[in-house]
Amino acid sequence: MHEMSLCESLIDVIEDAGRRENFSRVRRVRVEIGRFAGVEIAALRFGFDVVARGTVVEGAALELHEAPGRAWCFDCGTNVDLPERLDPCPHCGGMRLQPTGGTEIRIMDLEVI
């Protein structure tokens, strides 16, 4: 389950920010997860609560926001939103698509004390 290692990485980044910005508790963490990032949301929520124990993030609310999958269509030259990674272009039906977004995982912001 790679979601546990993702949670460990997120919390490491947050704890580094806490040392740098001098905060001791986090109330809320907002994370953007791309539709194509391959993350199981339920497993990420579970992992976050487990990994957060004993850290500045313990007890923080985790808000997850999904970023759309995006791709460039070589056939019609359009940037398109895609519900699924292997879907055809919604404009022309072409299958020659280069993903341009939706694979990212990023911390949007923190509510801290």
Residues, the chain? 113
pLDDT cut 90: percent of the chain above it: 96
Q: Provide the 3-class DSSP secondary structure of residue 32.
A: strand
Count of beta carbons in the 10 Å neighbourhood of residue 54: 7
pLDDT digits (tens, 9 = 90+) for 63-78: 999 999 999 999 999 9
Taking all residues of the chain, what is their mean pLDDT, rounded to a whole number?
95
34 token code pair: 């791309």
For residue 110, what pLDDT band results from cuts at 50, 70 and 90?
Answer: very high
Per-residue model confidence (pLDDT) at position 2: 87
